[in-house]
Structure 1
Amino acid sequence: MTPEALARSRIDTRLEQAGWVVQDMKQLNLGAGPGVAVREYPTDSGPADYVLFVDRRPVGVIEAKRDEAGEHITMVESQTERYAGAALKWRSDNAPLPFLFEATGTLIRFTDNRDPAPRSRELFHFFQPAQLKDWLEQSETLRTRLRSAMPPLPTENLRDCQINAVTGLEASLAHNHPRALIHMATGAGKTFTAITAAYRLLKFGGAKRILFLVDTRNLGKQAHQEFIAFQPPDDGRKFTELYNVQRLAGPNIDPAARVCISTIQRMYSILSGEPIDDSAEDISLNELQQTDAQQKLVRYNPAIPVETFDFIVIDECHRSIYNLWKQVLDYFDASLVGLTATPDKRTYGFFNQNIVAEYTYEQSVTDGVNVGYDVYLIETELTKKGATIAAREWIDHRDRQTRSRRWAQTDEDTAYTGTELDRSVVNPDQIRTVIKAMKTAIETEIFPERRETPKTLIFAKTDSHADDIVQIVREVYGQGNAFCRKVTYSEKDADGVLQNFRNEYHPRIAVTVDMIATGTDVKPLEVLLFMRDVRSRGYYEQMKGRGVRSLDGDRLKRVSASAPGAKSRFVLIDAVGVEKSLKTESRPLERKPGVPLKALLQGVAVGSRDDDTVLSLGNRLVRLAKQLDARTLARLAELADGRTVGQLGKTLVEALNPDRHVEAALATAAAQGITRSEDTLTGEELAAARSTLVAQACQPFDQPELRDALESARRDLEQLIDHVNPDDLLYKGFSEQAEAQARETIRRFADTLAEHRDELDALTFFYQQPFQRRALTIEMIEALHDHLARPPLLLTTERLWSAYARVQGSKVRGADLRRQLTDLVSLVRFALGLADELRPFADEVDRRFQDWTFRHNARRTTAFTPEQMEWLRLMKDHIAASCSITREDFDYAELASRGGLQKAWQVLGGELDTLMKEMNEELVA
């Protein structure tokens, strides 16, 4: 076959897969099917390579080129335009054809000439005839509607950041940008924003169907619940009453579904034919390393054609759309909308730097959407330095999987570092020391006013580590099973425990490995304890994000009754140095964490050579090599013809390296006398090279003796339970970095006060001499607050109070309370040296009120009556909330409900104005 004939053959095949009947002009039969593609159809501009007919009506043309022309395919768009506008022989209606395709055997580009400013785009596959028919029956294209038919966004019940995100996205879509990124802080309502946009795209944009992609089943459930709860602002019905929402649990998409929620793993499985096991959707892609070595490629599925979705919303897009999984996004002809709280360079690059909305964590704290956090450090002797178990000590040896124990002596001295804790060695006293320190810190320093333990989440290293922590937490706190529960994917009722953790009193403490690490919403959380390190910066930010969600006082009190008000902060307790450890974007190689080593060995022996199996086995062997002693390693090397366990594992991983495939394919071609370059290697040659390399890497495991020896070595690799070395607490307290940041915050506050002393009325009030002072109003405080809180200062009242509490704790009162706007008065007075203690403004008003009434009563012939005191207290409370009181204020709230100005005048008589003046001066000055 010539290159041109080969390309035509592949184009024919792809058209037939999409449901087109392909014919030569000589066999023309437009009644052969709903869609007919006729080769070499004559036009007045020469024969078109293909003319597409739908229901006997010409609708489009295909300009075919050989594969080598792929990189220059856009240069032939003018040819396609010429044929689309040419007169077709034997046709009376010679209107230009709207659908234009350029294709090689491997590449397809498409232009809809009805679009505003028509622009070509690459397709994974040809559209089916029914899709072109559907488009022809529409008076406007989707892109036209996105430009002209979207009404103004109703802003009721939407935060500013959500308004900006939806309007920014719609503006991007109106300009036909294929990818858009929404960067919104955790807790800012990304999913609600996406559902708002989806509703408008369905109702006003006329979108056919939207795919909502997640990377864990748990996030899919959470998204589905939000769709069910969503009520549009312009309709009394819920979203799911208006549009069918399907949560994909199998291979079939409901034709009536307008929104489809799926994990990217399941969609990849459907499109690639790669089976999916139940656990695959429970593990975040953040924890899986992907490479470009792809054996199972996504292929065309006529049941789910490329036109199935108009839009794809990708939740947590910073972690789920690269390498292997990217094929899912390449498959569909859809605009991509990414949602993330923690973008990285890859994220920005993938979305073409098209950031349609950006709302940072710092901004969310400023706006009260999220809460700030403090870092508290716990450092122990063993965590820092490790220890040594002497030879011939009698200790427990525990199997990692079954947790069964045997009592035996150690053969030799066993030294371990802090990083090896809870992996090769478990020291219960180290865990106990950390938990005791956490308990003491929470009860005496962090939340001393609480009667119950605040909702606390502990991040463990492994499932076994989580079990140990749960038992010791219950012991240290003297509580039963309900107090502390494990929430991991291995738990049968993990969803139920998580639901209770959110909404019920118990459990107070939850221990997790990955399940609540990202995306999962637990708003009452106020303490995060890290007992595992994290190397991925993005993953760490996501883990921290579990604590940032704000929560009003009523809902917090439902699960934590002694909470003084709304959630105002959370505390990150670092027991492993996670705040200081070097963060990278690397992630583990493990692809099948739930599959035993024995099963992986057996799998490659009988021929399972898929990427996941080979890569997982290689990862296990590399890890096993670091854990075995020299004697065992030498015995295993003898069985593997001198290759070490580490080399066996590395060879498996290297066999999946695309660079090795290229090298091997070039070497094979050279040995056959064929001249090849990297650019001219075919997919078949690369696949053959991969197959050869993987077969060579797997060959040693054909030996049952080696497989049995490796499994036996793994079984013998038990955890040592160190009851010999007690642990000691070296340090506990807020981090030095946190204190340095607090001092910097206080310095900037003082500098700002001095710099703007003559510009802001509230500052003028304090800098003037007492006899010159006039009334301080709430408007002045609001103006000062707005100036301090907006970027770049970001000096919110909460942040300032927390900084003073950390640096000058003995002089600060009420650090655990929710801040009021008027507390800014106390902050300014304290910063200017007008007060020796920093106390809530309301407390200071109370104290001054007592002094003032005492002095006033001492001067009067008769003391204030009980009724007069009741009214004076009402006025005092109003001043505490608003900085001052005037006659107009008696029309509001509590004062009005008691009879307002008329009643106050009746009770206090002609003294009312004088008393108000005195109180404004005495209680605020």
Structure 2
Amino acid sequence: MSIINQNPEQIARDNIDKMLRNAGWVIQSKSTVNLAASKGVAVREYQTDIGPADYVLFVDRKPVGVIEAKKEEEGHRLTVVEEQSSEYAKAKLKYLNNDPLPFVYESTGIVTRFTDYRDPKPRGRNVFHFHQPGTIAEWLKKGDSLRARLQKSPVLDETGLRPAQIKAVNNLEHSFKKNRPKALIQMATGSGKTFTAATFVYRLLKNADAKRILFLVDTKNLGEQAEQEFMTFQPNDDNRKFTELYNVQRLTSSYIASDSQVCISTIQRMYAILKGEELDESAEQDNPNESSWMQQQASKKQAMPVEYTPKVPIEQFDFIVIDECHRSIYNLWKQVLDYFDAFLIGLTATPDKRTFGFFNENVVSEYTYEESVIDGVNVPYDVYNIETEISKNGDVIKGGWFLDRRDKLTRKKRWQQEEEDTEYSKNDLDKKVVNPSQIRNIIREYKHALKTTIFPKRVDENGDYEVPKTLVFAKTDSHADDIIKIIREEFDEGNDFCKKVTYKAVEDPKSVLNRFRNSYYPRIAVTVDMIATGTDVKPLEVLLFMRDVKSTNYFEQMKGRGTRTINSDTLQLVSKTAKTKTHFVIVDAVGAIKSKKTDSRPLERKPTIALKDLLGAVTMGIADEDLFLSLANRLIRLDKQITDKEQEKLLEYSGGKNLKQITKELLTAFDPDAIEEIAQGLIAKIPVEDRTPQAYEDSRKEAQEALITLAATTFNGELNNYVDNVRKQHEQIIDSVNIDAVTRSEWDTTSVDKATEIVKDFSEYLLKHKDEIKALSIFYNQPYNRRDITFKMIQEVFEVLTLEKPQLAPDYVWEAYKALEEVKSEQPKDVLTALVSLIRRACGIDPELKAFDTTIEANFNKWIFKQHTGQHNRFTPEQLDWLRMLKDHVISSYHIEIEDLDFTPFDAKGGRGKMYQLFGNEMNEIMNELNEVLAA
């Protein structure tokens, strides 16, 4: 029959037939039924006791479901016909005394809905395609449906889980029980999102008998981290690791193992798998949301759609966990999520409006950074600002100056005299112009501020300053190289001290990152984007921003690199002079904290399209005529500028195609004559009687897709990077004449506000608990009894404070006081001594903050001086030595008792017997006097 004469119902049936065949069903008419022909048979117009059903589905010769077919224009009415299709499912089939059929579809061949009537409160849902017969056989074998099994999840064993993680898992499982298709977990960076995911993934596999779960990420780096988390995860109810119980596969090709139960993949790779293409690994290095134009274009133009792939059916995954879901699930990439018939669970620290909308506002758990700090899960941060003259205002390069010009790609320099004045702004720095003095002044001031203000006590036993682990954010790869060179010079250190961690680094970036995380060197790492998000480096104590960031989400993610807590012992393995990580510091050298931010990255750039984005869009399958023509036009211009040597290098990355050939393929992809020529060749292979208008149209479509694929598959990550770098202005001017100067180096005013808040919180906490905790009760209510305060009492205060208010750690409160008032004392090395000092300041015993150990020393010296005035010296030299031992004991234990004389260091000197021998009946009186005087 000619397509022209087909009615809308028949077109829908033809589309449904094609879908069924693709899914592995054999289609038969009611008059030629042979249920043994295949595992799955779809019989058209099968008679029931209420009339013929459009399709009845049989699996292993048994009826399992029905399909109600509707014409395309009725796609919006499919929910209305659910009652009609369910009646057919309940009806008796001719010749059979069947139970109601559980699997019911309504379809136009374009839009398809599905209901599993085994579900509690069965609810229809849109599906991309029909399920395969083998899948339905598996479902029936399991008995209960997935949604029914989700109702039976046992109570969560909360051992080892934080409150926020418990809440997230419980609320998520409650959402599953309600059959909510999407759920969003918002958890602060560093609060254990992946561990939470491993917990609920384990429970879904064990308790709900989930077949396979997809853990979706948007960079290879995040995928590797997730794999490590699953490898180390051990459930509470089993002494084996997760990977001993379940097969975890991180996808590095299009192959999905049949026995894998957790698949970890980038969304780019999964998109390529559904497109039937191999993915270049370099496409997984940067998250796809980096390409803002590509995202915008994909939302406006028709992206290359994914099509049904029998090797990866829609039921391949029961659940999809999307890590960092705020950035990579829209537009082009959304097709991956729409394809699978699966529950979607989003994980993010920084959702925006689009994220809430995508997940149907079903936020099952919210755990903010502020809450995580209060709970002691993360550490807070302070901001230190460094500003220089050129960083703020730029400068002018005068005509006539002799300056170096540097090739961006090769870094080769040449010396030339400038012909005219060149004015540059702060935005030109490290792009068009490099001013070494600007970088040097920032680094030099950072080094000075570290030692004097930021972390002044980091001096080792040799008197050398130990630089805290620092991550520097650079603008570009060449900017990173300049920063590294100057850091090594200014800190007077070698190559190991400061390293680059970018995908373009010569050294293996993963190896450098691992050393940065676990070894003493490097002390400073410089990155562009590679570890800006999603990467844990717990010992990090400083983030130095030498690039601005315009996206709120991205900036929050970058800040999250410093929030991780770490226990003191582990910290001291890599930073020997660090006592404990109470906070981290953002050193802002570009005004990143206060610069204007937008909600999402796709809106942050100008409408002018960067070549990098054009290349990325073509690589990832956006087939749009404007895009192909724009890219061809850029490459034509580039072909006129490129050198023979650069052209030679380009051939390595392009599979031997030069720019002229690449350009021709881009233009040919939308050339009507070229498309028609290939289409005619395809038509010639079709029998004359089948050359319908639709056949001609299909041939043209096939011809154009072949030309588009030929042009697009040339592009890959390495070629794109090379073309983009070659295209960039080849040279930078090295402004070595204009000398920069630091104009500002100080704590941010918000840090002062924060310090005020911390001191206030500390004082209020002490007041609130002064009647419950014995030591506080004495400090506030019985100052005359301070001599009775013991080490155990102070330890109790510290333990309660650590448990209830970890953000009020003595180190951090001490720094807050320093930000507000002149503190002349150095902070005591002993944390309990520091706590006593702070309590004395907070309750008004000391008018200014001073170290309690120095107070004891001063009180002791004053007391001794008083004993030695007048007619005679009260104590002999030997007695003085004993008194100093008693004083030292009070410094470490806050109190001295007669029993203490039986232990170190007194026992070695003769213990209480010796003291009695020296002081006689005055012994107890002197000890009481010292307890009172020293604690004054």
Q: TM-score, normalised by structure 2?
A: 0.79
Which residue does the alignment assign to 1:507?
522
- Tell me if 1:257 matches 2:260: yes
Which residue does the alignment assign to 1:517?
532
- Native 8 Å contact 1:812 1:837 kept in 2: no
Residues 310 and 385 of structure 1, relative CA distance in 2, 3 Å threshold: same
- Tell me if 1:726 matches 2:726: no
Counterpart of 2:513 (choices 453, 478, 498) is 498
- Native 8 Å contact 2:759 2:813 kept in 1: yes
The runs of 5 or more residues in structure 1 that have no matched partner are: 625-651, 657-683, 699-709
Partner Cα distance (2:162, 2:76) in 1: 45
Q: CA deviation at 1:399?
A: 2.1
Q: CA deviation at 1:84?
A: 1.0
Residues 437 and 536 of structure 1, relative CA distance in 2, 3 Å threshold: same
Which residue does the alignment assign to 2:846?
835
Partner Cα distance (1:325, 1:711) in 2: 24
Deviation string 1:145-165 (CA, Å, 9 cap, x unpaired) is: 2211x2232233222222222
Residues 911 and 512 of structure 1, relative CA distance in 2, 3 Å threshold: farther
SS class of match (1:440)? helix
Which residue does the alignment assign to 1:217?
220
Q: CA deviation at 1:21?
A: 0.9
Counterpart of 2:155 (choices 152, 177, 181) is 152
Which residue does the alignment assign to 1:473?
487
Letter of the 1:580 counterpart = K
- Native 8 Å contact 1:905 1:912 kept in 2: no
- Tell me if 1:29 matches 2:34: yes
Partner Cα distance (2:879, 2:324) in 1: 63
Q: TM-score, normalised by structure 1?
A: 0.80
Deviation string 1:488-507 (CA, Å, 9 cap, x unpaired) is: 11124111111111122222
Which residue does the alignment assign to 1:557?
572
Deviation string 1:265-294 (CA, Å, 9 cap, x unpaired) is: 100111124553221100023422213134
- Native 8 Å contact 2:302 2:623 kept in 1: no
- Native 8 Å contact 2:289 2:328 kept in 1: yes
Partner Cα distance (1:869, 1:716) in 2: 72
Partner Cα distance (1:84, 1:485) in 2: 66
Residues 852 and 62 of structure 1, relative CA distance in 2, 3 Å threshold: farther
Letter of the 1:30 counterpart = L
Residues 854 and 319 of structure 1, relative CA distance in 2, 3 Å threshold: farther
SS class of match (1:116)? coil
- Native 8 Å contact 1:765 1:774 kept in 2: no
- Tell me if 1:579 matches 2:593: yes
Partner Cα distance (2:633, 2:193) in 1: 35
- Native 8 Å contact 2:129 2:314 kept in 1: yes
Partner Cα distance (2:726, 2:195) in 1: 51
Alignment of 1:517-916 (within 5 A): 517-563=532-578, 565-587=579-601, 614=628, 617=631, 714=727, 718-747=731-760, 765-768=778-781, 770-771=783-784, 777=793, 781=797, 785=801, 789=805, 799-811=812-824, 813-814=826-827, 825-839=836-850, 877=892
- Native 8 Å contact 2:794 2:836 kept in 1: no
Q: CA deviation at 1:459?
A: 0.6
Partner Cα distance (2:310, 2:924) in 1: 82
Alignment of 1:148-187 (within 5 A): 148=152, 150-187=153-190
Letter of the 1:727 counterpart = D
- Tell me if 1:440 matches 2:444: no
Q: CA deviation at 1:829?
A: 3.0
Residues 499 and 752 of structure 1, relative CA distance in 2, 3 Å threshold: closer
Aligned-pair identity in percent equals: 53
Q: CA deviation at 1:916?
A: 9.8
Q: CA deviation at 1:826?
A: 3.6
SS class of match (1:42)? strand
Partner Cα distance (1:29, 1:357) in 2: 52
- Tell me if 1:246 matches 2:249: yes
Counterpart of 1:237 (choices 232, 237, 240) is 240
Deviation string 1:316-370 (CA, Å, 9 cap, x unpaired) is: 1111211211111111111111111222222222222222222222222223222
Q: CA deviation at 1:14?
A: 0.9
- Tell me if 1:345 matches 2:353: yes
Q: CA deviation at 1:126?
A: 0.9
Counterpart of 1:406 (choices 405, 411, 414) is 414
SS class of match (1:528)? strand
- Native 8 Å contact 1:397 1:408 kept in 2: yes
Which residue does the alignment assign to 2:51?
46
Partner Cα distance (1:295, 1:53) in 2: 36
Partner Cα distance (1:33, 1:10) in 2: 20
Residues 42 and 849 of structure 1, relative CA distance in 2, 3 Å threshold: farther
Residues 295 and 358 of structure 1, relative CA distance in 2, 3 Å threshold: closer
- Native 8 Å contact 2:798 2:835 kept in 1: no
- Native 8 Å contact 2:902 2:912 kept in 1: no
- Native 8 Å contact 2:409 2:730 kept in 1: no
Partner Cα distance (1:854, 1:34) in 2: 102
Alpha-carbon RMSD: 4.5
Letter of the 2:756 counterpart = R
Partner Cα distance (1:796, 1:43) in 2: 75
Residues 853 and 536 of structure 1, relative CA distance in 2, 3 Å threshold: farther
Letter of the 1:446 counterpart = I
Partner Cα distance (1:855, 1:124) in 2: 91
Letter of the 1:28 counterpart = V
SS class of match (1:30)? coil
- Tell me if 1:2 matches 2:7: yes
Q: CA deviation at 1:140?
A: 2.0
Deviation string 1:744-768 (CA, Å, 9 cap, x unpaired) is: 4445666777799889987665443
Partner Cα distance (1:522, 1:469) in 2: 20
Residues 861 and 463 of structure 1, relative CA distance in 2, 3 Å threshold: closer
Which residue does the alignment assign to 2:62?
57
Partner Cα distance (1:246, 1:286) in 2: 25
Letter of the 1:85 counterpart = K
Partner Cα distance (2:799, 2:633) in 1: 59
Letter of the 2:241 counterpart = K
Which residue does the alignment assign to 1:308?
316
Deviation string 1:650-705 (CA, Å, 9 cap, x unpaired) is: xx9xxx9xxxxxxxxxxxxxxxxxxxxxxxxxxx99x99xx99x99xx9xxxxxxx
Counterpart of 2:72 (choices 44, 67, 72) is 67
- Native 8 Å contact 1:566 1:818 kept in 2: no
Partner Cα distance (1:836, 1:186) in 2: 40
SS class of match (2:320)? strand
SS class of match (1:22)? strand
- Tell me if 1:109 matches 2:118: no
Alignment of 1:444-455 (within 5 A): 444-450=452-458, 451-455=465-469
Q: CA deviation at 1:466?
A: 0.8
SS class of match (2:45)? strand
- Native 8 Å contact 1:762 1:784 kept in 2: no
Which residue does the alignment assign to 1:96?
100
Residues 294 and 845 of structure 1, relative CA distance in 2, 3 Å threshold: farther
Deviation string 1:636-660 (CA, Å, 9 cap, x unpaired) is: xxxxxxxxxxxxxxxx9xxx9xxxx
SS class of match (2:142)? coil
Residues 512 and 38 of structure 1, relative CA distance in 2, 3 Å threshold: same
Residues 588 and 405 of structure 1, relative CA distance in 2, 3 Å threshold: farther
Partner Cα distance (1:559, 1:348) in 2: 40
The runs of 5 or more residues in structure 2 that have no matched partner are: 1-5, 459-464, 639-665, 671-696, 712-722
Partner Cα distance (1:176, 1:784) in 2: 42
Residues 303 and 923 of structure 1, relative CA distance in 2, 3 Å threshold: farther
Partner Cα distance (1:844, 1:213) in 2: 58
- Native 8 Å contact 1:376 1:735 kept in 2: yes
SS class of match (1:374)? strand
Which residue does the alignment assign to 2:139?
135
Residues 303 and 608 of structure 1, relative CA distance in 2, 3 Å threshold: closer
Which residue does the alignment assign to 1:668?
none
Partner Cα distance (1:275, 1:501) in 2: 33
Counterpart of 1:419 (choices 413, 427, 451) is 427
Residues 29 and 827 of structure 1, relative CA distance in 2, 3 Å threshold: same
